[in-house]
C-alpha cells in the first residue's frame, strides 16, 4: 500500500476503547508488531471518497436499529478474536480484533470499493505468519466488552515513510456522527433522532 485508503468506521464509546487499548499493550508485548497500526474502530467498508453527513446519519440509524432489535437492549457486544482480510492490493496484513455482533449495513454502492463481510473491532494489523498464534495460550486473552454509545465516521489511513514497512501508518478520523440515543422507559423503547 503506497496510497491513502479511505474507510467508513464504527467507533465505540471511550470506555470500550480503554479496554482495547490495554489489549493492544498485551498484544505488542506478545510480539504482535501491528498492535497499534490501526485505530480502535470497526471498518464497515473501503470507499473511494468520504461520505457526506447525511450518508453517515443513515448508517448511524441503521446500526442503532440493529442494536435495538428484540433482546439486544441497544447493546453492541464483542465476541471472540477474529481476522478480516482486506483486498491484498489495498492492505496486505489482515485486520485483527474482536468480532462484533451487528450486521454490516447496506452501504450505497456508488462509493464503495469493498464492503466487509462482518464487523470486527480492530486492535491492529496481523500478518498471515502470526495468525497461527491466535488460538495458542501465549496469545493474550481478549477482553469482552459491550457498548451502546458509538459513532460512525470517515477514516483515512496513510502509510508513513519511516517505521516498520506495512505497519507504520497515520490516520485521521473525520467529523463523527453519533448513533441515535437509546434508552428504555417503562419497557418502551425511546429513540432520539439525529
Average pLDDT across the chain, whole number:
84
Q: pTM of this prediction?
A: 0.86
Q: What mean pLDDT do residues 55-61 have? A: 93
State the DSSP code for 192. -
Which residues does 65 contact at the CB level (< 8 Å), separation at least 6? none
Task: Tell me the DSSP string of 158-172.
Answer: EE-SSSSTTT-EEEE
Q: What mean pLDDT do residues 101-116 have? A: 86
CA 82 to each of CA 59, 77, 167: distance values in angstroms, whole numbers, following the listed order: 23, 14, 18
- CB of 159 within 8 A of CB of 168? yes
Residue-level pLDDT at 192: 46
Using one digit for the tens of pLDDT, what is the confidence trace for 138-188? 567 888 889 999 999 999 998 887 766 666 888 999 999 999 988 764 434
Whether the per-residue pLDDT at 120 is higher than 50: the answer is yes
Residue-level pLDDT at 188: 45
Greater confidence, 106 or 117? 117
The residues with which 152 forms a beta bridge, in sequence order, are: 10, 177
Cell 474502530 locates to 41
The residues with which 98 forms a beta bridge, in sequence order, are: 81, 121
Phi then psi dihedrals of residue 109, to 5 deg:
-70, -25
Whether the per-residue pLDDT at 191 is higher than 60: the answer is no
- The distance of Cα 48 from the centroid of its chain, to the nearest Å, equals 18
Amino acid at each position: 500500500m503506497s496510497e491513502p485508503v479511505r474507510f467508513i468506521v464504527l467507533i465505540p464509546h471511550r470506555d470500550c476503547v480503554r479496554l482495547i487499548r490495554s489489549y493492544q499493550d498485551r498484544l505488542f508485548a506478545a510480539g504482535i508488531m501491528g498492535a497499534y497500526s490501526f485505530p480502535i474502530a470497526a471498518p464497515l467498508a473501503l470507499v473511494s471518497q468520504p461520505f457526506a453527513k447525511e450518508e453517515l446519519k443513515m448508517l448511524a440509524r441503521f446500526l442503532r436499529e440493529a442494536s435495538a432489535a428484540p433482546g439486544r437492549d441497544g447493546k453492541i457486544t464483542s465476541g471472540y478474536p477474529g481476522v478480516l482480510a482486506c483486498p491484498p492490493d489495498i492492505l496486505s496484513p489482515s485486520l485483527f480484533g474482536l468480532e462484533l455482533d451487528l450486521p454490516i449495513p447496506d452501504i450505497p454502492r456508488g462509493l464503495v470499493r469493498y464492503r466487509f463481510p462482518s464487523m470486527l473491532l480492530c486492535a491492529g494489523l496481523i500478518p498471515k505468519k502470526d495468525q497461527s498464534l491466535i488460538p495458542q495460550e501465549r496469545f493474550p486473552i481478549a477482553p469482552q466488552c459491550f457498548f451502546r454509545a458509538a459513532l460512525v465516521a470517515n477514516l483515512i489511513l496513510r502509510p508513513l515513510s519511516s517505521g516498520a514497512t506495512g505497519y507504520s501508518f497515520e490516520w485521521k478520523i473525520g467529523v463523527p456522527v453519533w448513533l441515535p440515543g437509546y434508552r428504555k422507559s417503562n419497557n418502551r423503547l425511546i429513540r432520539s433522532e439525529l
